[in-house]
Amino acid sequence: MKGFRLALVLFAALGIIAFSAGCRVGYVMHAATGEFRLLSSAVPVPQALADPSLTPTQRERLLLVSQIKEFGEKELGLKKTSSYETICMDLNRPPIYTVAAAPKDKLTLKTWWFPVVGRMPYLGFFDIAEAQEEKQRLIQDDLDVFIGRAEAFSTLGWFSDPITLNLIDGSEVDLVEIILHEMTHATLYVKGQGEFNEGLAQIVGKWGAFLFFQKNLGPSHPRTDEAMASIEDERLFSFFLGSVLEELQRLYETALPLEEKLRQREEVFARSLEDFEGLKSGLKTQRFVRFGNAPLNNAYLMAVSLYHRSFPLFEAVLERNGHSVREMLIFFRALSEQKGSLLEKARNRLEK
């Protein structure tokens, strides 16, 4: 599903800490090796620009990255890092796969604990076979499982994250959204609060892209219009997803036997796909067209919800802060100094 961009947080390079903490050694070794290969294969952007294999469009997009970074740092208040100053030129680089899991009768993602980042709602793999093996282990635990693909990743500023060719091969609007999304993770990341972290990065990416094009190309430019259309589609999809999850939540909270809940949830899934077909006519971009290509289950829906369910809440906070991304980040940074769910704290502040 275009638009379902798993902004994977990679933490495997902290493997020594993980070993001492008793984390699963095999997984940490796999992730650490894959991450090392990705980081070590990257070359400086100036070197890549001299590579004759780059197309004019790729070269143009690559030059755009430094402008995006500067805008994010100076205009939005995002942290300055050395990320996105190198690029991985390996055309044969395999995708990064993510594995998420959830109980069949609960809208709760399984989490895995790691040092520094806390509990994570997915695992990242550099090999599809490894991801499939993890999927089978989770299925044996009677869980719903979903394997996705990550378009980008962040090491939270611990390392210099590279650009990848898939980023500069997409649209300009997608490129700006993703870079700003990942920069947000390096700016403010709250340990163990996946939906907050991804939701915050999502709104900074979306609104940041609109502000970027508005400033650099003008309010009436097609790129600016596309960035606003992306925001409008996000609102529509968030509302749709929220209604599906609410219906499932009501079902799972009933006293029905598990077998009946599972039967009825399939009916909810089927109706949801029908409703989404109707929703498509109101979408202005192609970002969500692949929703439902994978069979619906709790893991799939909850993995998607990490990024999209709380968008209305974040927009309300952004509006409360004068539509200033910088002020919104300051607001959430102050809020993060308190214990508890930042999403709940934000809702409580909005109600005052």
Task: Give yes or no for residue 101 having a pLDDT over 90.
Answer: yes
Q: How far apart are CA 316 and CA 349, in angstroms?
A: 11
Domain count, the chain: 1
pLDDT for res 223: 97
Encoding tokens for residue 108?
């709760």
The predicted model gives 56-84 an average pLDDT of: 94
β-pair type (112-114, 118-120): antiparallel
Mean pLDDT of the chain: 88
Encoding tokens for residue 146?
């979903």
Task: Give yes or no for residue 352 having a pLDDT over 80.
Answer: no
Sign for the pseudo-dihedral over CA of 137, 242, 313, 342: negative
Domain limits at 263?
7-351
Percent of the chain with pLDDT over 90: 65
Task: Give yes or no for residue 151 having a pLDDT over 90.
Answer: no
2 part of a folded domain: no
**Confidence at 116, pLDDT banded by 50, 70, 90:** low
Residue spans of alpha helices (H) in the chain: 15-21, 25-40, 45-49, 56-74, 128-140, 165-168, 172-187, 194-217, 222-252, 258-279, 298-308, 311-320, 325-336, 342-351
Put residue 288 in one of left, alpha, beta given phi > 0 → left and psi -120 to 50 → alpha. alpha
1 part of a folded domain: no
pLDDT tens per residue, range 168-193:
888 999 999 999 999 999 999 998 89
pLDDT for res 36: 66
Lowest mean pLDDT among 107-116, 187-196, 302-311, 342-351: 107-116
Secondary structure class of 130 (helix, strand, coil): helix
Task: Give yes or no for residue 229 having a pLDDT over 90.
Answer: yes
The neighbour count for residue 330, using CB atoms within 10 Å, is 14
pTM of structure: 0.90
333 part of a folded domain: yes
260 part of a folded domain: yes
Long-range contacts of 32-37 (CB under 8 A, 24+ apart): 33/126, 34/96, 34/125, 34/126, 34/127, 35/10, 35/126, 35/155, 37/126
Task: Give yes or no for residue 307 having a pLDDT over 90.
Answer: yes
300 part of a folded domain: yes
**Confidence at 15, pLDDT banded by 50, 70, 90:** very low
pLDDT for res 5: 46
